[in-house]
Chains A and B, each alone.
Chain A
Amino acid sequence: MSTTVTVTDATPPQLSHRLTAARLPRWAPAGIAGGSIVLGCAVGAVADLKSHLQWGLISALLFLVASYAVSASVEGRRQAKDRFATSLVWVAFICAVVPLVSLTFYTVQQGIGAITPEFLSHSMKGVVATLSPDGGIYHAIIGTVEQVLLATLIAAPIGLLTAVYLVEYGRGRLAKAVTFFVDVMTGIPSVVAGLFILSLWNILLGFEYSGFSGSLALAILMMPVVVRSTEEMLKLVPNELREASYALGVPRWKTILRIVLPTAIGGITTGVMLAVARITGETAPVMMLVFGADFINSDPFNGPQQSLPLYIWQQYSQVNNEFGYSRAWGAALVLIAFVMGLNLIARGIARWRSPKGGR
């Protein structure tokens, strides 16, 4: 058209050219999240969806769509994609928190009622499990402690020595093979470990069910975990310490025992405790090898024992059992408290005594 039009057209964009593009206010993501949760719950309530999982999923979807749409309309496509990714990451975070919180709360809520002094100090001997709420987990606690202790006594020294071999001596093909198979061994399913001990210890050598044969299977599961964590810790010990020791004429084995291991002892303890926490909750091998018992058997080498995970399983799987669930939850709470406590202590030690990595 005419020239005047182009002049008037050209001026406004120059005026609107600021240094930064339009941005959503800082509270926008939180606002969108709040809005979509409200909307999601509203949709869920209106459509009469019974499962709260669906309410959550709808809210999450709304949040993702809304944050993309709002941002795209204000800030442009690139920013919108960025916002979308951020929202996605936050949703993933929520996805992880929800089960953990739900699991913890539900276990505490269901289990706290069952835990009484009597529950902790009695066995199930003479209790008709389906007819009375009596009985307890004393025998299971004793069994678990003994089995885990025995497994640790077997696995920790072997694991420690293997790690020492890999870090301090390990060169060549044997060390490589050990490293690889330790890694692979961490992935052995617990049933397979149980089957192996069964075929070796119980079928071939003819031993009976006992706490100790359970310990053997648990030790197999524990060894690679100990090796891995100890290895990592030994690698953190500064080489200068070793060299200083050698320079003073201290033999190698004494250097390892007196210098290297004490320096890394915090991390090693942590690793062993984490491994203990892991095997404490193993059910399958115990189920196959320890068999379970209603009475107190404090001798892990003779006769069937009980253990906490197995106790939970047995209480749960009894047919027609209104008291079993409560007992199972009580035992689950004790087990989870024990394992998580061990975890927290282990991590506390790791923080407290971690060798400052000197490269």
Chain B
Amino acid sequence: MTSSSPADARGRTPRRRGDSRRGDAVFFNLSRGAGVLLLVVMAAIAGFLTYRSALALGKNEGNFLTTFEWTPDAVKPVFGIAVLTFGTLVSALIAMLIAVPVAVGIALFISHYAPRRIAQPFAYLVDLLAAVPSIVYGLWGVLFLVPHMNGLTSWMDQYLGWTYIFDQSSSGVPARNLFTVGILLAIMVLPIITAVTREVFRQVPRMHEEAALALGATRWEMVRTAVLPFGRPGIISASMLGLGRALGETIAVATVLSTNSKLSLHLLDPGGGTFAENIALKFNEAQPLGRDALMASGLVLFVITLLVNGAARVIIARRKEYSGAAA
């Protein structure tokens, strides 16, 4: 307000100045408000889920962490997340074991190996893979992938059965198991891991690569000594982003997995469950207490993905500062 008087002296209308001030203030507050709203939403998600979970946990007659059953609407409500935790972690782990090496390979292919003419279209193609809705993945998984997995699973049962985890209790059942789910999740998280890794590989300083080649390194030696060390934080954070996706995937898992409440280390046996799948499938029949129980499991999932994603972002952010200093 005080600075508006010199403007008067120069013959400008004070009203306009006031307008722009007000405009600036309104716009600033509007945009800051949007940012704050996002924070509020995050806080509200955590708050509401915690509140509803507390209601449910108070009435739980079993141990929430170690119980296998999920019968919150029974006369004696009992529910626990042991099976769900196991299924979620195992399927995500299988997905990571398959997806990370393949994604790094694809990223290398696009950034360093592919002929120019196919690299760009192929990068688009991989991005398109990310756009396929998960329900379509699920449908394809259960009607195409599962029948094709049957041969592989019975072979693994026959020759790798001694490992215990690949032993099938009854052979010949459709492969709607955690292993197939893991493979499907691997296909689904491949694009996101590839996209991030590819960007990091592209930022590798040209000079490092050319120096390695000039010293007589083969292409692989160049990749190993220049590209991979530079890209390692990127690979780690990309994998964690993918892991977050795999942990929270709902409908594809619900379609493919034939669920039950048994915790079995036989990965090729149908059965088990995951957090997200359990919520989606149990939701419609759930009574009020059942819904609150599902919210408790949702809260656990929320916290897990929050930690995984947060860790990934912290790693990426550190990388950014580093490469920014180098540029």
Q: Do A and B come from one complex?
A: yes
* Bound: A277/B122 CA distance, A: 20
- Check B24 against A252 for contact (C-beta < 8 Å): yes
Q: Is A1 an interface residue (CB 8 A)?
A: no
Which among A161, A274, A277, A288 is the interface contact of B34 at CB below 8 angstroms? A161
Query: Of the 9-residue stretches B65-73, B100-108, B204-212, B260-268, which lies at the interface with chain A?
Result: B100-108
- Please tell me if the beta carbons of B28 and A158 are within 8 angstroms of each other in the complex: no
One digit per residue, 1 when the CB lies within 8 angstroms of any chain B CB and 0 when it does not, for chain A 88-113 equals: 11111101110110110011001000
Task: Given the known inter-chain contacts A180-B310, A191-B248, A340-B128, please indicate yes or no for A332 contacting B139, CB distance below 8 A.
Answer: yes
Minimal Cβ-Cβ distance residue in B for A177:
B39
Please state if A284 and B136 are interface contacts (CB–CB under 8 Å).
Answer: no
Given contacts A191-B248, A287-B280, are A89 and B151 in contact (CB under 8 A)?
A: no
Q: Is B126 within 8 A of A183, CB to CB?
A: no
Asked whether, in the complex, the Cβ of A106 is within 8 Å of the Cβ of B140, the reply is: yes
Assess the B309–A186 pair: CB atoms within 8 A. Answer: yes
Q: How many residues of B contact A (CB 8 A)?
A: 96
- Cα A141 to Cα B220 in complex, Å, equals 50
> Which residues of A have CB within 8 Å of B143?
106, 110, 325
**Cα–Cα, bound, A203→B194 (Å):** 40
Is the pair A191, B301 in contact by a Cβ cutoff of 8 Å?
yes
Whether the Cβ atoms of A51 and B109 lie closer than 8 Å is: no
1/0 contact string of B120-148 vs chain A (CB within 8 Å): 00101111110111111111101110001
- Residue B202 at the chain A interface, CB threshold 8 Å: no
Q: Main secondary structure on chain B at its contact with chain A?
A: helix
Give the docked Cα–Cα distance between A82 and B155 (Å).
32
Q: Known interface pairs A52-B148, A54-B151, A92-B105. Does A187 touch B295 (Cβ–Cβ under 8 Å)?
A: no
Taking CB atoms and an 8 Å cut-off, the chain A residues in 149-185 that contact chain B are 157-162, 164-166, 168-170, 174-175, 177-178, 180-185
Query: Which of chain B's residues has its CB closest to A332's CB?
Result: B136
Q: Answer whether residue A321 sits at the interface, using C-beta atoms and an 8 A cutoff.
A: no
Query: B238 an interface residue at 8 Å Cβ cutoff?
Result: no
**A169–B24 Cα gap in the complex (Å)?**
11
Query: Which of A82, A253, A347 lies in contact with B27, CB distance below 8 A?
Result: A253
Q: Is the CB of B126 within 8 A of A196?
A: no
Q: How far, in whole Å, are A274 and B130 apart by their CA atoms in the complex?
A: 10
Contact of A309 with B250 in the complex, beta carbons under 8 Å: no
Q: For chain B, residues 202 to 225, give those with C-beta under 8 angstroms from any C-beta of chain A.
A: 218-221, 223
Taken residue by residue from 194 to 210, chain A's Cβ proximity to chain B (1 for < 8 Å, 0 otherwise) reads as: 01101110011000000
Can you spell out 21 A-B residue pairs with CB atoms less than 8 angstroms apart? A52-B148, A78-B218, A81-B220, A82-B219, A92-B101, A92-B106, A96-B106, A96-B129, A99-B129, A178-B39, A184-B309, A187-B309, A191-B248, A199-B51, A224-B38, A283-B280, A287-B251, A335-B135, A340-B131, A347-B124, A347-B127
